[in-house]
Structure 1
Amino acid sequence: MTIDPSSIPHFGGQPQPQAAGPAGPVVPDQDLVKQLLDQMELKYVVDDEGDLAAPWEEFRTYFMFRGEDDQQVFSVRTFYDRPHALEDKAKILDAIDDWNRRTLWPKVYTHIHDEEDGPTTVRLIGEAQMLIGTGVNLEHFVSSTVSWVRASIEFDKWLVEQFGLETADADEKPEDDEA
């Protein structure tokens, strides 16, 4: 169940919820995020822990709510599935430090991943968070979430360019024409 990142519609300015929103602050919940993902025409699943996830070919983005009451946090966390060699970690850190200095989100960090049937690798995780427990403006929530999703996609494209990585489409080799 994957979607093409280019299928996200361009909202032309601030994306608006389908129905008129409330005048005051709202405390977003999973149903609101589902409505937004439906409006963005993004497919999603609910994982075993109850978190929403939008899967792409090379990464998956989770929409999570953590904490309670006025300390509740909404987090958009992207797990980039492309493994990197452990010996390349210094080069990767230099690149993501540059990304983190130049962009607001997602903030990206490394995670050492122990493969069961293979070598230990470096994986990347991007994250953006918003404190929502006391309520937020609906338009701010919607525009931030859309921006975070788009930035997660842009980071993957940027990473491919930085390291000359192959994308899933590039992995498919054309058939040889024998003449």
Structure 2
Amino acid sequence: MSPGARSRWLSRMFGTARTHAPTPSPARERATPVTRDRVATYLLSRGYRFLLDDDGDLTGTWDGSRFWFLLLGDHGEILQIRGRWHRTLPVTRRTAVLLAANDWNRERIWPKVYVREEEGELALYSEVSVDLEHGATGSQLAQLVACGLGTGVQMFTVLDSLLPPETDLD
């Protein structure tokens, strides 16, 4: 076998043989500024229902819990997906709730979980925040929204499974 034939044979055997001209790589997606309209367009493309609240923020309900899509920072460069659990807890449960939130935050990267007292009850929130000063591609934006919603819903689902029904908490 000639050296050229051997080389072609080895190329075919190891899957490195070119049977046709190389295909050009796809054009790289460019990062562009993240705006409320871009987030809304993405949510619509997924078939999600949402609205603008009184502050002009995008908001919707996923698995019974409210989520907001906020653009924060001096130039709206920080995308934050914030969720509020659909239940509240009595303030007498503060220590247990804070321990659960601390456990979650220690064991997981996302979402950040915290507790607020609102009208004499405890409300639990989830947050995923990302600095997008240099913009984001469509794929990156999709990943960030999926992360914010998915991990927030996951955390709220875990809470639902750990706590007794609402009527048994007082």
Segments of structure 1 that go 5 or more residues without pairing to the other structure are 1-19, 115-119, 167-179
Matched-pair identity in %? 21
Q: 1:21 to 1:38 in 2, by over 3 A?
A: farther
Q: 2: CA distance between counterparts of 1:165 and 1:104?
A: 28
Give aligned pairs, total: 141
| Structure with greater Cα Rg | 2
Per the alignment, residue 66 of structure 2 pairs with 60
Q: CA RMSD in A?
A: 2.1
TM-score, length basis structure 1: 0.71
Asked if 1:137 is matched to 2:137, the reply is: yes
Q: What letter corresponds to residue 99 of structure 1 in structure 2?
A: W
Runs of 4+ displaced beyond 4 Å: none
- Offset, 1:39: 2.1
Q: 2: CA distance between counterparts of 1:150 and 1:57?
A: 10
Q: 2: CA distance between counterparts of 1:160 and 1:23?
A: 40
Deviations 1:75-122 (A, max 9, x none): 1011123110101010011111111122221111000011xxxxx111
Q: What letter corresponds to residue 106 of structure 1 in structure 2?
A: P
TM-score, length basis structure 2: 0.75
Counterpart of 1:37 in 2: which secondary structure?
A: helix
Q: 1:95 to 1:135 in 2, by over 3 A?
A: same
Q: What letter corresponds to residue 155 of structure 1 in structure 2?
A: M
Per the alignment, residue 94 of structure 2 pairs with 89
- Offset, 1:58: 3.5
Q: 2: CA distance between counterparts of 1:24 and 1:121?
A: 45
Counterpart of 1:50 in 2: which secondary structure?
A: coil
Contact 1:58 1:82 in 2 (8 A): no
